[in-house]
Amino acid sequence: MTADLTRLEELVESFTKQTVVVLADFVADRFVSGEISRVSREAPVLILRHRETELLPGGGANATNNLIDLGARVFPVAAIGDDEAGRALTDYFRKKNVDVTGWVRAKGWSTPVKTRYLAGWTHTTRQQVLRVDREPQTPLSAAIQKLLLKKASQKIKRSSVLLASDYGFGSVTAASLKSLRRGAGTKLKITLDSRYCLGDYRNSGITAATPNESELESMHHARVNNGATDVEKLGQQTLKSLHLEALIVTRGKDGMVIFERNGKPKHIPVYGSDEAADVTGAGDTVIAVFTLALGAGATYSEAAELANYAAGIVVMKRGTATVRREELLAALRNEATGKNRTF
């Protein structure tokens, strides 16, 4: 690795002193696990004997959860529905002593829920066999979006970094980020993870974005056929068209590439194994670590290196998972001493 590992450790050690505002689409990730009982007579499907149901923060809520487990003070701003999933997310974060005054409960609107069904035999690894998504049937109202913007404007007075996580449910818009940039000025760093609408954020004052390879393809209506060559071409175009200071493109087993103004693309090889156990929510971990590192004073390259370490850790965990500050420090220290990882 090209980064100074001692410097990276110092940055991670300072995570507990950082404050991050998150404007995000919150999602509830529900995992329903069962043991395979038999094959149904009614249809060629497995019958599962229910073992447990677990609800975890997903989407922008997962990015928030990563920031918390990395030791940061977090002010999340998000819309949730007046429903079971919304209450479950509220209870989850209150137990972690998170300030939820930035949340808006939208009546008549549903909290997005992704339900994954996991099947396995006794003492075997459970595998996902089905996913069912429940999405809001109506868009967030203009009044709710206005209230979210107001709350975000209040919160960023207490931080120099804003993480925006757009999963397409309306809590984050190009107009809202443009307004926040106008109000906060150049001192505020805004990082963006946009699942479907990266191209909509032109001229919105974004500092950096962290798309994966497929999101980059979607933005440019192009295919990455020649690997790194095509990624570099599309990445440079994105950096320029969105007027970014930096861009991270995550590439799964091929690591990531960071682009900066007036510099050549830097390829960072994947940390750890290239055989991921589960990539669910890995992008949330990447933007959380990247944003937190910027708040701690990291360069874009240093922040990308740290995000790469964190990604390598989290993809070896099953389900929607986070990286703890202690795990990230252990990875850096093991790298420095040449020891194997011991998470």
Catalytic residues: 284
Provide the 10 A C-beta neighbour count for residue 80.
25
Residue indicated by tokens 């919304």:
86
> Cα separation of 35 and 126, whole Å?
8
List of residues 6+ apart from 27 with CB closer than 8 A: 57, 58, 59, 60, 61, 62, 111, 112, 113, 114, 167, 169
DSSP states along 295-331: HTT--HHHHHHHHHHHHHHHTTS-SS----HHHHHHH
Residue indicated by tokens 């070896």:
316
In angstroms, what CA-CA distances link 296 with 8, 181, 251, 276, 338? Answer: 10, 20, 25, 29, 26
> Cα separation of 34 and 55, whole Å?
15
Q: What is the CA radius of gyration of the chain?
A: 20
Provide the 10 A C-beta neighbour count for residue 99.
13
* Lookup: tokens for 80: 């949730």
Provide the 10 A C-beta neighbour count for residue 280.
23
Residue type (1 letter), 165: S
The 3-state DSSP class for residue 110 equals: coil
Q: Which has the closest alpha carbon to 210: 268, 293, 283, 273?
A: 283
> Cα separation of 338 and 276, whole Å?
22
Residue type (1 letter), 254: D
